[in-house]
Amino acid sequence: MKNGILFIPHLVGHGGTETVIHNLFTALQDNTQLNLTVYSIGGTDDASWTSGVKFKSNFISRYRPFRTLYYMTILPFKIKQIIREEHPDVVISTNPVMWYLAKKAITSLKLRVPVFSWYHYSLKQKPISKVFLRSADYYLAISSGIKRQLMQQGIKEEQISLIFNPIISDHHPISRSSSVPHFIYLGRVDLDGQKNVRELMDSLSLLTGEWVLDIYGDTSDASSVIDYAKSLKISDRIHWMGFVKDPWKNIKCASALILTSKYEGLPMVLCEAISHGVPCISANVETGPEDIINSSNGWLYTPGQPKELSTILQKIIDNPDVLPATNTIISSSSKFSISNYRHQFLSAVVPCQ
């Protein structure tokens, strides 16, 4: 069995990266090819996601300036120390600076250990210095769009493995409303930031007929969204559900999930929704949704075109029969299953030894 190290920076504890790493370890249970250890340099505010994860943490501080100072001064020596002591067969990192420093350490130690970049963001929205980007030996791409971006940056296709992200789901089907169409939104509630909820509100304001929207997400900083919904005179149709730790156990009814993000890496909320038979409607941003949504499980619309989104929603209001069959939608989620992901991840990482 090969030994691997996954270097990560400080994580809050309830984001998408934490979920993916947790799901990765679920996928790797009982495998005989790779023994992976997570080294968190910076720690995590909420460690609940590390359950079942082989996790080692070097806590620095809850205050970002102190962590930044540590990263600028001590991080190169810490990474080199860990590699020297652990003698890994493979090194992976989600952070450009960390995979750059890992490659430097491996070179100075005269080791033959491949370094994998595992970046979870669009390179256009969160660009990486070419020096850092090109320092890795291989690249794990979580979406087709990110693979294209890597190639546009001069990374050779043979260096890139498209592995997507894994979801853990019991695949229980969520019912659809028999009367009024019931739309749902899950995620951060921001008006003009990444999640672009203004576009959702604008689209809803153009609809005729009956509909309701449930918004699952922390509303403590969502006053601008709430006020905007009021100004459009649609707030009486919106239910503000707040943050729910496991929304898929709480959602009883959904006609479709809507995502209006300006950018994503691979939006897990879409993967989770289709695993429960919920149709999805998403902005066709450069990375992510095209790998998930197709004619068997939903619709893509042009980003920045609320009228196009409203046209799709209006079709559902006028004729709910346009929604794809629940079982067909659930079947479309198989490419993101734990078993498929285990094969994709190990095929990408282990043969390089």
Give residues with Cβ within 8 angstroms of 175, minimum separation 6. Answer: 252, 253, 254
Cα separations in angstroms, 218 against 242, 243, 252, 271: 5, 5, 19, 21
The CATH number of the domain holding residue 102 is 3.40.50.2000
Contact present, 79 and 58 (Cβ < 8 Å)? no
In a domain, 171, yes or no: no
What would the pLDDT profile of 298-307 be if each residue is shown by its tens digit? 999 999 999 9
Same domain as 235, residue 125: no
Q: Which domain holds residue 138?
A: 2-166+337-352
pTM of the model: 0.91
* 148 Cβ neighbours under 8 A, 6+ residues apart: none
Q: Is pLDDT at 353 greater than 60 in this prediction?
A: no
Residue 215 main-chain phi, psi, to 5 deg: -110, 115
Q: What is the per-residue pLDDT across 197-215, written as a single tens digit (0 to 9) for each?
A: 999 999 999 999 999 999 9
**In whole numbers, what is the pLDDT of the chain averaged over residues?**
94
Q: Please give the structure tokens belonging to residue 136.
A: 């890795």
Please provide residue 77's backbone torsions phi and psi, each rounded to the nearest 5 degrees: -70, -35
Residues 201 and 138 in one domain: no
Q: Does any domain span residue 176?
A: no
> What would the two tokens of residue 85 be?
């002591």
What is the residue whose two structure tokens read 């001064």? Answer: 73
What residues contact residue 42 under an 8 Å CB cut-off, 6+ apart?
Answer: 9, 10, 11, 58, 59, 60, 67, 70, 71
| 214 in any annotated domain | yes
pLDDT tens digit string along 53-67?
999 998 887 778 888
- How confident is residue 107, by pLDDT bands cut at 50, 70 and 90? very high
Q: pLDDT by residue (tens digit) across 115-149?
A: 999 999 999 999 999 999 999 999 999 999 999 99
Q: Is residue 177 assigned to a domain?
A: no
